[in-house]
Amino acid sequence: MGTQIRTALKVDTNTPAEKQPYLHNRWHPDVPFVGTIRNNETVKIECLDWTGGQIQNNDSADDVLNVDLSKVHYLSGPFEIEGAEPGDVVCVEIQDVQPFEDQPWGFSGVFHKENGGGFLDEIYPHAAKAIWDFEGIYCTSRHIPGVKFAGLIHPGILGCAPSAEILAEWNRREAELISEKAAGGSTRTVANPPLTTNAHAGSADAATAAKIAAEGARTVPGRPEHGGNCDIKNLSRGSKVYLPVHVPGAKFSVGDLHFSQGDGEISFCGAIEMAGVITVKCTVMKNGQKQLGMVNGKSPIFIPGPVQPQFGPGRMLYFEGFSVDENGKQHFLDATVAYRQSCLRIIEYLRRYGYDDYQIYLLLSAAPIEGHIAGIVDIPNACTTIGLPMDIFEMDIRPETPAKKVDMRLAPVSKK
């Protein structure tokens, strides 16, 4: 009665992630269970930050510039969810997410165009970084003065393991994309196929580990069949998410905690990344996929928690974007292009206060901006909007108030 909540998994922030057998960084049905969560049980699960500790709390962007992207996304799990079978749904209630008490900080990074990149890398190719300090529900950054906001804290990644069939389909379709783009002459990395380098298969034996390394799906994209790295900012504390189950026991994993994130997570390493602990309650809905109309086992649905930071609509400043790119080229109903334009409009707006463009890029990634698809049918222009909460700024940024320019360029940006 009133006993403490069980901690189902502890991580060690002083040991390399690859040495911790209850972590893994590939999606594969054969990664061994790390433990069992009973139906309806609430547990705490500790998680590393998504880079496994590669980024330091300092004033240089070199660690972001040189980050090893084969050593990321060490997930905690997979857990057996008692009684879960293919065709079921696991309802995961995210009771809370907290940073470690002795590590009250996180980071946002802009990756270099040649090592990770991001949504605006054609325009902003350099690496950059901001460290955020946590004080209770709030965060501030010495690298981006003049802003403070409450965290919309959430896991970037959670999901159940794919079945062998689903995994094969993932590999097929992503390989197809790679082939097509290569055939079309693109030199851009368009997807990450299986990679043996630094694959972490948890506690799998050597043969299984080799199989997982050879076949396992990379953790970067979210995928419709299980959610995964969905990076949804309001899948936050208090949420209930309904995850389709594809293998016996579900093999539920979680990681990549974010103190806050803007819609789009535009700088890729853009959320406020942190290590910490997530509290979840797992409940099995037998035959849930049919009950919820999840045709072909997809996709997760969720109901957000009731405690997300509230700004009145009259305190949001919205920026329109259309699918005409920054070179004047017209695209056809391309919401991605339109969203980039909304981002650029905010950069132009906030630059007037003395911020460096990279600071704003970092801020848009980390702060709870609201990115909407406004119109998607008026050919040829998709229209998107981004709502910027004016209350995260110390200064009054309303359009009526003349902007006062002060040099605030404090975020480290790589020379390269």
User: Which residues, 216 to 235, sit near its own copies by CB under 8 A?
Assistant: 220-224, 227, 229-235
Task: Output 78 or 305, the one with its CB closest to its own copies.
Answer: 305
Nearer to its own copies, 206 or 295 (CB): 295
For position 357 contacting its own copies by CB under 8 A, the verdict is no
Nearer to its own copies, 197 or 401 (CB): 401
The binder of its own copies chosen from 210, 303, 408, 410 (CB under 8 A): 303
Return left, alpha or beta for 181; rule: phi > 0 is left, psi -120 to 50 is alpha, else beta: alpha
On whether the CB atoms of residues 322 and 379 are closer than 8 A, the answer is no
Q: How far apart are CA 313 and CA 283, in angstroms?
A: 35
- Which residue is it, tokens 């809905």? 285
Q: Which stretch binds its own copies (CB under 8 A): 28-36, 62-70, 79-87, 309-317?
A: 309-317
| Residues in 120-139 at the binding interface with its own copies, rule: CB under 8 A | 131, 133, 135-138
Asked if residue 331 binds its own copies (CB under 8 A), the reply is yes
Binding its own copies (rule: CB under 8 A), the pick from 69, 123, 210, 301 is 301
Stretch of 18-26, 74-82, 200-208, 214-222 contacting its own copies, by CB under 8 A: 214-222
Cis preceding linkage at 78, omega within 30: yes
| Residue from the set 64, 94, 247, 362 that interacts with its own copies by CB under 8 A | 94
> Is omega for the bond preceding 299 within 30 degrees of 0, making it cis?
yes
State the Cα–Cα distance between residues 297 and 245, nearest whole angstrom: 8
Q: Which is nearer to its own copies, 78 or 270 (CB)?
A: 270
Nearer to its own copies, 196 or 287 (CB): 287
Q: Which of 403, 408, 409, 410 is the binder for its own copies (CB under 8 A)?
A: 403
- For its own copies, which stretch binds (CB under 8 A), given 20-28, 79-87, 196-204, 320-328? 320-328
> Could you please report the per-residue DSSP string of 160-172?
EPPPHHHHHHHHH
Question: Binding string to its own copies for residues 240 to 269, with x set by CB under 8 A, is what?
Answer: x-x--------------------xxxxxx-
Quick one: which of 38, 113, 281, 416 contacts its own copies (CB under 8 A)?
Answer: 281
Q: How many angstroms separate the CA atoms of 247 and 86, rounded?
A: 5
Task: Name the residue nearer to its own copies (CB basis): 30 or 283.
Answer: 283
Specify whether the CB–CB gap between 47 and 254 falls below 8 A: yes
**Whole-number minimum distance, CB 16 to its own copies, in Å?**
21
Angle at 28 between CA 222 and CA 194, to 5 degrees: 70
336-341, Cβ contacts within 8 angstroms, sequence gap of 24 or more: 337/382, 338/381, 338/382, 338/383, 338/384, 339/119, 339/264, 339/371, 339/384, 339/386, 340/119, 340/120, 341/384
Cβ proximity of 257 and 276 under 8 Å: yes
- Considering only 270, 276, 297, 412, the residue that binds its own copies (CB under 8 A) is 270
Q: At closest approach, how far in Å is the CB of 327 from its own copies?
A: 10
If the CB atoms of residues 210 and 376 are measured against its own copies, the closer one turns out to be 376
User: Which tokens is 47 given?
Assistant: 């998680």
The window from 24-32, 63-71, 76-84, 316-324 that contacts its own copies (CB under 8 A) reads 316-324
Q: What residues from 24 to 83 belong to the interface with its own copies (CB under 8 A)?
A: 42, 57-58
Please name the residue that has the structure tokens 């200064």: 395
When the beta carbons of 36 and 332 are compared against its own copies, the nearer one is 332
- Binding positions for its own copies, 361-390, rule CB under 8 A: 370-385, 387
13 lines the binding site for its own copies (CB under 8 A): no
Three-class secondary structure of residue 41 per DSSP:
strand
CA distance 64 to 131: 12
Residue ranges of alpha helices (H) inside 184-217 are 206-215
The one segment of 10-18, 194-202, 205-213, 285-293 that binds its own copies by CB under 8 A: 285-293
Evaluate whether 272 touches 258 at the Cβ level (below 8 Å). Answer: yes
CB 337 to its own copies: min, Å = 9
Contacts of 243 (CB under 8 A, 6+ apart): 89, 90, 91, 92, 158, 159, 160, 226, 227, 250, 252, 300
Question: Strands 252-258 and 105-110, how do they pair?
Answer: unpaired
x/- mask, its own copies, residues 173-212, rule CB under 8 A, reads xx-xx---x-------xxxx--------------------
